[in-house]
Copies of this chain bind each other. A is one copy, B any other.
Amino acid sequence: MDIIGVSVPRIDAIDKVTGRAAYVGDLEVSGMLHGKILRSPLPHALITGIDTSEALKLPGVTAVLTRGDLEGLDPFYGAVVRDRPFIATDKVRYQGEPVAAAVAVDLATAEEALDLIQVEYEELPVVSDTLEALSGTGETVHDTNLCRESGYEWGDVADAFAKADHVFEDTFTFPMVYHYAMEPHAVIADYSNQGITVWSTAQHPFLVREDLARMFGFQLQQVRVVVPYLGGGYGSKSYTKLEPLVVALSKVAGRPVRVALTVEEAFKTIRRHSARCTVKTGVMNDGKFVARECLIHLDTGAYADNGPLVADRAAERVMGAYHWDNVKIKSYAVYTNSTPAGSFRSIGAPQAAWASESQVDIIADALGLDPLEIRLKNLVIKGEEFRPDRRPLDADPAAGLRLAAQAIGMNLDREPEDQDSELPIKIGRGIGCNLSGVGSSPTSTAIVRLHVDGTVTVFAGTTEIGQGSRGVLAQVASQELQVPLDQVGMVSSDTGIVPYDRSTGSSRSTTMMGLAVQGAAKEVKEQLLELGALHFDCPEEELSVNDGVVLRGTESVAYGTLIEEEFGGRAGELLGRGYVTPRMNNGRLRQGPAFWEVGIAAAQIEVDTDTGAIRIPHYVSVADVGVAINPQQCEGQDEGASMQGLGHTLFEEMVYEDGQLLNPNMVDYKVPTFADLPGDLESMMIENHDGPGPFGAKGLGEGGIVSAAPSVANALFQATGVRIKDLPLTPERVWRAIRDAKE
């Protein structure tokens, strides 16, 4: 029985298609009330007074939560720095920050109550530009505007630049973008003196549990975080978000409370870091890279969230997939008065790759080299220990890049693009490539239950965020335990039920939780062999398992029969545990990262030089997956990442003016739709069976977003000779750039 590499249908497909799938917004909890949040209209202000008395008089209002209700709890949280109160205390730091919240018998009454809450503010100057913010002369969002300073260096860049044939220096900007998960954040909280139960749209329920336990003074065993169906994450639901506020609401209301955000509120909850990135690269005449120096400023918004880690990762990832003898990187996460920025699919990488890979093409053009050729000359090769104290490269970016380039007709020996100068439509081809050492913490556990009818339940704390983890983990259990896939049920994110998993993100679940599930299945298998040895009265070595039976030569006995024999009738079950810890798994997971994820893209585009509009007839993404456990799911992940990348490449940007977010809605903030799909969107899988995960798999899902922007901008340059260093490549921006170039 072999189910690895089979594109079985999603196990949640029917529930989702028929509408049976219940999301947090669909759940009913006995006695549940409804909450709404009053948000600051000002980006930066002291709160000088809050009067809730009129709101509390409104019939149907149960409670109003303000900074006055924080006694006996710690309101501060944050993935790295605990700088964010779940409700404003002394001041507000961005437009949209929660200032108060009302609980009522229904949503309309709760909304009405918000209008009756009087808040007095004393306005403060707005911090909005990251460079100004660090100048040390103006207003500060917190005690300082510097959230994180990150960086590293080796070699001697100054010397190398001096000796280089050429030195290039370019500055690129990357916009603030919004994740746009279909389902905005929603939380139901049920607080009692004995514990907390939370139903939440949380990607990392175990980390939320940790925060809630600390903030509200409970033991871990008293806090239960349940994630029902979840409508997309992309990092927007990483770490703690809305949960503490709703728990506090339930505490003051004495009843379960639900708060479900609108899209506008989600825009004011979390976003991706905008960035300014200056890259200076020293190159020899033959195209050999000798030194790189980078300066990255990331706008982390009003609170740190995961910003410090994003700064670290952007610093790492701006090196690109290249070998460097001399490197000096500085990366800053900077506070401003805007929506806090945090995790977003491949943190820091699209910003870094945008700069790094755009500049590679600038260099190639200047030196008269082919963009593929200059990359192949400098790429890290498989097995190379190219960064100190890290796992050697376990992927082959050169092979992937050749594949991608070839797919869009960008071979090394190709003819230059034949542009008809009379036509407004210009054609161009571009590539991009980046490496991410995935931040997959090797901390997952799982339980497998084998029932007396031979069917299986897997407990795995990976959150199903639409990526298909339930199906893939079920395939792992099915294969390892040799139980048909349609007899494997999955129980996922519920900290009260499933054992610990650190998080769902960083392309980690197939690898880390996959190993935990495989380990748990193995432990059940061991017991089956023990019982089989009793059954056949033979040594275990004579036995094997296949398709639901233990085999001894031509004899076989069903798993269920062995359980019946052990438990004396149709009763009992076998249990297996799987652990992934840094120490375990023969040390395979000890040396970070767990694996290197390559993000390779190639785009063939058409630019209408009259309008600036870009169409993409052919787009290729290449993912090195080790083994594609479910190829269709892998492609789905990679295609989704590609499209999300094309979103920030072509359309997306959160626009602020005087600290006010101007476009927090799906009319003014444009995300790609099916009409924007490339004519041919191709996802190619490299399968070398060499990943650290189960059956040689490794993760994917992030690589696809990384190189979208540079591949398109590089194609745009090929098509028009215009180099744009700011995203998104809107028609207006492209048209202006073409016009400016003509002048």
Contacts of A491 in B (CB 8 A): 496-497
A496 touches B457 (CB 8 A): yes
Q: Is the CB of B443 within 8 A of A572?
A: yes
A25 to chain B, nearest CB (A): 10
CA A650 – CA B309 in complex, angstroms? 74
CA A458 to CA B679, docked complex, whole Å: 55
Interface status of A75 (Cβ within 8 A of chain B): no
Stretch at the interface among A79-87, A396-404, A563-571: A563-571
Cα-based distance from A350 to B26 in the complex (angstroms): 50
B568 and A221 form a contact (CB under 8 A): no
- Interface: A499 (CB within 8 A): yes
Task: Tell me if A445 is interfacial: C-beta within 8 Å of chain B.
Answer: yes
Which residues in chain A, 425-469, are within 8 Å of chain B measured between CB atoms? 441-443, 445, 447, 449, 451-453, 455-457
Stretch touching chain B among A27-35, A271-279, A607-615: A27-35
Chain B contacts of A546 at CB under 8 A? none
Q: Using a CB-CB cutoff of 8 Å, which residues 3-20 of chain A contact chain B?
A: 14-15, 20
A556 contacts chain B at the CB level, 8 A cutoff: no
Contact partner of A194 (CB less than 8 A), chosen from B15, B194, B443, is B15
**A583 and B566 in contact (CB under 8 A), knowing A213-B453, A455-B220, A491-B496?**
yes
Instruction: List residues of A (480-503) whose CB comes within 8 Å of B's CBs.
Output: 487-489, 491, 496-497, 499-500, 502
Q: Verify B453–A220 contact, CB threshold 8 A.
A: yes
Minimum CB–CB distance for A589 against chain B, Å: 10
Contact A499 B573 (CB under 8 A): yes
Q: Is the CB of B571 within 8 A of A453?
A: no
Chain B residues near A164 (CB, 8 Å)?
Answer: none
Interface-centre pick from A220, A442, A491, A573 (highest chain B CB count, 10 A): A220
- Is A193 close to B, CB under 8 A? yes
Task: Please tell me which stretch of A100-108, A149-157, A385-393, A574-582 contacts chain B, meaning at least 4 of its Cβ atoms lie within 8 angstroms of it.
Answer: A574-582
Q: Which residues on B sit within 8 Å (CB–CB) of A213? A: 453
A593 smallest CB distance to B (angstroms): 14
Interface size counted on chain A using CB atoms at 8 A: 56
Closest to A30 in B: B28
**In the complex, A144 has a CB within 8 A of chain B:** no
Name the contact of A497 in the complex, choosing from B222, B488, B497, B570 (C-beta under 8 A). Answer: B497
A20 to B194, CA, bound (A): 11
**How far, in whole Å, are A27 and B256 apart by their CA atoms in the complex?**
13
B219 and A455: CB pair below 8 A?
A: yes
Copies of this chain: 2
A239 vs chain B, min Cβ distance (A): 14
A488 to B221, CA, bound (A): 7
Query: Which B residues are CB-close (under 8 A) to A15?
Result: 192, 194
Q: Which of A14, A213, A496 has the largest count of B CB atoms less than 10 A from its CB?
A: A496
Residue from A14, A195, A449, A487 having most chain B Cβ neighbours under 10 A: A449
A552 to chain B, nearest CB (A): 20
Q: How far is the CB of A263 from chain B (nearest CB, A)?
A: 23
A571 touches B30 (CB 8 A): no
Question: B451 touching A220 by the CB < 8 A rule?
Answer: yes
Name the residue among A20, A487, A571 with the largest chain B CB count within 10 angstroms.
Answer: A571
Is A183 in contact with chain B by the CB < 8 A criterion?
A: no
- Please indicate which of the listed interface residues A195, A443, A452 has the most CB atoms of chain B within 10 Å of its own CB: A443
**Closest Cβ neighbor of A222 among chain B residues:** B489
Is A210 positioned at the interface, with any CB of B under 8 Å from its CB?
Answer: yes
A452 touches B573 (CB 8 A): no
- Tell me how far the C-beta of A61 lies from the nearest C-beta in chain B, rounded to whole angstroms: 22
Considering only CB atoms, which chain B residue lies closest to A206 in the complex?
B571
Is A22 positioned at the interface, with any CB of B under 8 Å from its CB? yes
Complex CA gap A69/B442 in Å reads 52
A443 & B489 in contact (Cβ 8 Å cutoff): no
Instruction: Out of B29, B489, B581, name the residue touching A28 (CB < 8 Å).
Output: B29
CA distance A447 to B447 in the complex (A): 10
Residue numbers in B under 8 Å from A570 (CB-CB) = 210
The docked-state distance in angstroms from the alpha carbon of A28 to that of B579 is: 36
- Across the interface, which residues of B come within 8 angstroms of A499, CB to CB? 449, 573, 575
Contact A219 B445 (CB under 8 A): no
Give, as a whole number of angstroms, the nearest-CB distance from A257 to chain B.
Answer: 14
Cβ-defined contact, A22 with B30, below 8 A: yes
Query: Taking CB as reference atom, which chain B residue is nearest A565?
Result: B583
A449 to B502, CA, bound (A): 16
CB distance from A508 to the nearest CB of B (A): 13
Contact of A572 among B26, B192, B445 (CB under 8 A): B445
A26 touches which one: B22, B30, B206, B219 (CB < 8 A)?
Answer: B30
A window 195-237: CB within 8 A of B: 195, 206, 210, 213, 219-222
In the complex, what's the smallest C-beta–C-beta distance from A419 to chain B, in angstroms?
55
Q: Which B residues are in CB contact (< 8 Å) with A221? A: 449, 451, 455-457, 487-489
Listed residue (A27, A213, A455) with the most chain B CB atoms within 10 angstroms of its CB: A455
The reply to whether B571 and A500 contact each other, CB–CB distance below 8 Å, is yes
What CA separation (Å) do A688 and B581 show in the bound complex? Answer: 45
**Is A20's CB under 8 angstroms from B192's CB?**
yes
Q: Are A571 and B497 within 8 A (Cβ)?
A: no
Contact yes or no, A14 B572, CB < 8 A: no
Could you jot down 18 A-B contacts, CB within 8 Å? Answer: A22-B30, A195-B489, A219-B487, A220-B452, A220-B453, A220-B455, A221-B488, A222-B455, A442-B568, A443-B569, A445-B575, A500-B571, A500-B573, A567-B581, A568-B581, A572-B581, A575-B577, A575-B579
Q: A221-B449, A441-B569, A445-B575 are in contact. List 16 more A-B contacts (CB 8 A).
A: A14-B194, A15-B192, A15-B194, A22-B30, A28-B28, A28-B30, A220-B452, A441-B568, A443-B567, A443-B569, A445-B572, A449-B499, A451-B500, A452-B500, A491-B496, A500-B571
